[in-house]
Structure 1
Amino acid sequence: MQNELWKLESGWIAAYTEDRDVIRNIKRSNKNWRIMCDYFHRGKLIGVQFKIPMEDRRQAERRFGVKLS
């Protein structure tokens, strides 16, 4: 599974994941993390991109298992 974090704009970071367990956990636990985009291939969800407040950087790094680039 692919997970990525990067700086988006002032006060925000972006994250991408293809891991269904991570997506499910975020939708349940982190209501302030906005979904920017859903990626589909042949009608099947393959990835989700999130917009995350910079204050949640450490939590996001732990959740996705990668460091902010």
Structure 2
Amino acid sequence: MPIQHGFARKYALGNLKEASLPELATDWRRKCYPSFLELCRSVYEEVTAPAELPIIKWYEAIARQAEAV
């Protein structure tokens, strides 16, 4: 998982029994990175919208949004 255990499975790197880590990472960058980047941008825009910037748990915010998408 790119962030933490339990993160949305659609962002998983893959299975090490099926390919090497470098192969999985290359494939992930091509297939998943664009949507992961958009997820991060979306969460960033949402949490920085208030006039007073909150202190947030970034990884939890991304994980929560990833499940919602």
Report the structure, 1 or 2, having the larger helix content.
2
More strand by share: 1
Larger Rg: 2
Fold conserved (TM > 0.5)? no
Instruction: State TM-score, norm by structure 1.
Output: 0.28
Scaled by the length of structure 2, the TM-score of the pair is: 0.28
